Structure 1
Amino acid sequence: MPDVIFPLDSTKAFTEQEILGHNRWHPDIPAAVRVKPGDTFRVHCREWFDGAIHNDDSAEDIRDAPLNSVHTLSGPIGVEGAKPGDLLIVDILDLGPIPQEDSGPLAGQGWGYTGIFAARNGGSFLTEQFPDAYKAVWDFAGHTATSRHVPHVSFTGITHPGLMGTAPSRELLSAWNTREAALIATDPDRVPPLALPPEPSEAVLGGVAGAEFDRIANEAARTAPPRENGGNQDIKNLTRGSRVFYPVFVDGANLSVGDLHFSQGDGEITFCGAIEMGGFIDLHVDIIPGGMQTYGVSENAIFMPGNVEPQYSEWLAFSGTSVTLDGEQRYLDSHLAYQRACLHAIDYLTTFGYTPEQAYLLLGAAPIEGRHSGVVDIPNACSTVYLPTAIFDFPVTPGKDGPARIDPGMGAPRAAF
């Protein structure tokens, strides 16, 4: 087993750990640990809400989830010799849940969760149709996930980090804050908001202390969106065997990682749409000096996906086009087309007995494939959702005898307001 350079005690909160991580992006957050090019090491990661979500049959914890506190990131990890303009090579060697024998009732120790976020607390991809908070708890057995809240399905997870990235430069951080503030200003009272500005409340800044803390907390960027440094990309294919090339913007690169997922469908469509967990990740790092210019990677990481995905060979696909539910035509709107494809799949699954919320949670957690299938045939973009049929314990394809009715079980817990 590689040396653990960023250990976590499962019985303690994120801010009580021996090595303190962070939950904001800023170039002045110092490296918590350091490695050399060519090193292999293990990092422990907290579940992104630091234990605020529980293994129970209530969704009140999703309703009240503390968004100001996310994400609980392990790092920064300084890489000796990395300079702005380099490419940082990160190989994902292994990752998984916190071992069950470790003490503490945290997600990742045999279980994880998927949540539909309420509109007033972040919302989701389908907020207008699903404005309330729901939750599904998933149990892990090896690489397989099942849930008492979404019965009759079992699937192999594509375990991956939802968030990994390098620290921004001062100039890049300023660009983020400027452009996102301009977007917010177009509709400052929108629910959910258009973007999340810097928020000093509940900021965790690693080794920053004293007078500098307030300055950095008021400048530091939230970790919710993906940006040029990688960040919260939620790419389900960044699993074991993947190699990622991250742009380096500061000395040491200052790599951070967290938001581990046991499984996820393309798009993470419920917002907390993956199966969230705490766990470990084994990494190997190296550097390509001057790689950003050499390979034209001025922004955004490039990657080579791993080859250990579950091998599903039969799919049922649903399509959607860029026409709203009210019949309004939109011009080549792939985002809307993917929403319509997801709603199509949800409506279909309800004919077997699932509630719409159970179907929605399933699409967020299971390894569905989402695709832009047509983006040139004006005025309609076409997007598709591919659902693996082998995950169900009943026939899910259309037949002359009609849909097999299943027992939906207890359903997905909903939070009251």
Structure 2
Amino acid sequence: MPETVFEVDTDAPPEEQPDPIVNRWHPDTPPASTVQPGEKFRVECLDWTGGQVNNDDSANDIRDMDLTPNHHLSGPIEVEGAEPGDLLVVDILDIGAFPDHEWGFTGIFELDNGGGFLTDHFPEARKSIWDLDGVYTKSRHIPGVEFAGLTHPGILGTAPSHELLEEWNRREQKLIDDGPDAETAVNHETREEEPPLALPPEPENVMLGSMDDEEVEEAKTEAARTIPPRENAGNCDIKNLSRGSRVYLPVFVDGANFITGDIHFSQGDGEITFCGAIEMAGWIDFRVDVIKGGMEKFGLDHAIFKPGNVEPDFSEYITFEGYSVDEDGTQHYKNANVGMRRACLDAIDYLKNFGYTGEQAYLSLSTIPVESRLAGVVDLPNTCVTVSVPQAAFNFDIDPDRLGDIKSKSRGTAARPS
């Protein structure tokens, strides 16, 4: 087993961990450990909330969650010899749950505390608990759903330089400043506040590893939230970044200062409920290497990756289509976000035919390894988005031929419904 270079204790609060937790991006966060290029090592991780969610049947912990400290991440891991302009090559060798913590959770957050992709349709907090059994999972809260997950870190990235951190804060603050003001940032149909366009530095509950209190006080007003992905990768939530994947991360500071966490047992493309994966605590085995001058050599400003070859063997999907026309009939110009919403809403309505509530269907789309695509972007005014649901994730037949009572399932000769 590789040496553990970052250790956590799921029974202890975040501020009392064996190795100090990180929850912001900052170039001056001290490394928790150092590894050599070519070295294999293990990183242990809390779940992204730092243990705020319980394995029970109440969603009060989702409703009342303190989001200011999230995410709770492991690192930084210094890589000997890495310098700005290099590429850090990260191999994800293996990943799993702790033996005494083989469960995960998914949540729907309310608009005034986190929100989500379809919060206007599902405004109340909900939670599903998932039992993890090897590569398979099922939930007592969504009967009839059982599938093999595609386990991956939601977050992995390198520390920004001071210059890059300043650029992040400048451009994201400009987005906030140029967005709707307090008087107009309200949906006039629902009278609900619209979500912010970006999240500026949050000085409350900042954790920067072993940085001393005085340094934290100075850094907390500029340290970047870990919510969005950026040039350093970070919170990309890419479900295919699983075992066997190789990631090429830009390096902006000496040592790269690699950080990871937010482990997902499984997730559909989009992670649509916000806390939309099966979130879990666990461990990840990595191997790292360095390509000197790799950013210039490869012509890269952002991360790239090669997926591993270990994925669930789903072969039959039902695919839902969405276009740039929202629920009230308003036409948008090539808006993929609206197209994704419409495809998801149709999929949810379809799954309700089998006895699921809308919330159960919503949680299922967020956790099953659903495939989403930008199918067409050239045909104005609509962008076509598809959401493909694997049929084998259900313990019963959800095929539309069965639902429509079509006698022949041959795709070339299917009879019309009588």
Distance 2:95 2:401 in 1: 40
After the TM superposition, which residues 239-278 of structure 1 pair with which residues of structure 2 at under 5 Å, given as runs? 239-278=242-281
Aligned counterparts of 1:277 and 1:350: Cα–Cα separation in 2: 27
Q: Distance in 1 between matches of 2:403 and 2:172?
A: 53
Please tell me whether the aligned partners of residues 10 and 281 of structure 2 are also in contact (alpha carbons under 8 angstroms).
Answer: no
Q: Distance in 1 between matches of 2:107 and 2:403?
A: 34
Which residue of structure 1 lines up, in the alignment, with residue 105 of structure 2? 113
State whether residues 21 and 209 of structure 2, in contact with CA within 8 Å, keep that contact through their aligned partners in structure 1. Answer: yes
C-alpha displacement of 1:10: 2.5
Distance 2:7 2:355 in 1: 44
Letter in 1 for 2:208: L
Match of 2:223 in 1: 220
Once residues 99 and 400 of structure 1 are traced to their aligned partners in structure 2, the CA distance between those partners, rounded to angstroms, is 40
State the AA in 1 paired with 2:325. Answer: V
Is the 2:33–2:77 contact (alpha carbons within 8 Å) kept by the matching residues of 1?
Answer: yes
* SS across alignment from 2:93: strand
Please state if 1:169 is matched with 2:169: no
Q: Which secondary structure state, in structure 2, belongs to the residue aligned with residue 335 of structure 1?
A: helix
Residue 285 (structure 1) shift:
0.3
Aligned pairs for 1:53-202 within 5 A: 53-100=53-100, 109-185=101-177, 186-187=179-180, 189=182, 190=185, 191-202=194-205
Aligned to 1:381: 383
Q: By how many angstroms is 1:398 displaced?
A: 1.9
Per-residue CA deviations over 1:372-398 (Å, capped at 9, x if unaligned) read 111111111110011000111111012
Q: Which residue, 206, 219, 224 being the options, matches 2:209?
A: 206
Partner Cα separation in structure 2 for residue 45 and residue 23 of structure 1: 12
Conservation of the 8 A alpha-carbon contact between 1:21 and 1:76: no
Q: Deviations over 1:237-294 (max 9, x none)?
A: 0000000000000000000000000000000000000000000000000000000000
TM-superposed deviation, 1:402: 4.8
Deviates more, 1:320-329 or 1:208-217: 208-217
Identity %: 57
The TM-score with structure 2 as length reference comes to 0.92
Q: Tell me which residue corresponds to 1:300.
A: 302
- Give a deviation string over 1:66-117, Cα, whole Å, max 9, x none: 11111111000001110000000000000011112xxxxxxxx111001111
Q: CA deviation at 1:60?
A: 1.0
SS in 1 for 2:255: coil
Query: What is the DSSP-based 3-state SS (H/G/I as helix, E as strand, rest coil) of the residue aligned with 2:41?
Result: strand
**Distance between the aligned counterparts of 1:250 and 1:135, measured in 2?**
39
State the alpha-carbon separation in 2 of the partners of residues 355 and 30 from structure 1: 47
User: What CA distance in whole angstroms lies between the structure 1 residues aligned with 2:10 and 2:63?
Assistant: 24
The one-letter code matched in structure 1 to 2:322 is G
Please give the alpha-carbon distance, in whole angstroms, between the structure 2 residues aligned to 1:342 and 1:117.
Answer: 17
**Structure 2 match to 1:351:** 353
For 1:124, what is the secondary structure of its paired residue? coil
User: Could you tell me whether the CA contact under 8 Å between 1:121 and 1:192 is conserved in 2?
Assistant: no
**In structure 2, the residue corresponding to 1:324 is in which secondary structure?**
coil
The residue type equivalent to 1:392 in the other structure is F
Aligned to 1:279: 282
SS in 2 for 1:344: helix
Deviation at 1:210, TM superposition (A): 3.3
What SS class does the counterpart of residue 172 from structure 1 fall into? Answer: helix
Deviations 1:150-170 (A, max 9, x none): 110100000000000000011
RMSD, aligned CA: 1.2
Letter in 2 for 1:85: G
Aligned equivalent of 2:324:
322
CA distance in 1, matches of 2:62, 2:330: 33
The one-letter code matched in structure 1 to 2:334 is L
Any conservation in 2 of the 1:319–1:340 contact (CA below 8 Å)? yes
> Aligned partner of 1:277: which letter?
M
> Tell me, what secondary structure is at the counterpart of 1:351?
helix
Note the residue ranges of structure 1 that are not aligned, 5 or more in a row.
Answer: 101-108, 404-417
TM-score normalised according to structure 1 size: 0.93
User: Which secondary structure does the structure 1 equivalent of 2:354 belong to?
Assistant: coil
- Alpha carbons of 1:176 and 1:401: their partners in 2 closer, same or farther (altered >3 Å)? closer
- What are the ranges of 5 or more consecutive residues in structure 2 without an aligned counterpart? 186-193, 406-418
Q: Which residue of 357, 360, 375 corresponds with 2:362?
A: 360
The answer for the alignment partner of 1:232 in structure 2 is 235
Of 7-16 and 337-346, more deviation after overlay is shown by 7-16
Q: What SS is found at the alignment partner of 1:68?
A: coil
CA shift for structure 1 position 65: 1.4
Structure 1 contact 122–193 (Cα < 8 Å) conserved? no
Q: Is residue 340 of structure 2 the alignment partner of residue 338 of structure 1?
A: yes
Distance 2:181 2:214 in 1: 30
- Asked whether the 8 Å contact 1:111–1:137 carries over to 2, the reply is yes
Given that residues 21 and 32 in structure 1 are in contact (C-alpha distance below 8 angstroms), is that contact kept between their aligned partners in structure 2?
Answer: no
Quick one: structure 1 residues 338 and 4, their matched pair in 2 at CA, closer, same or farther if it must change by over 3 Å?
Answer: same
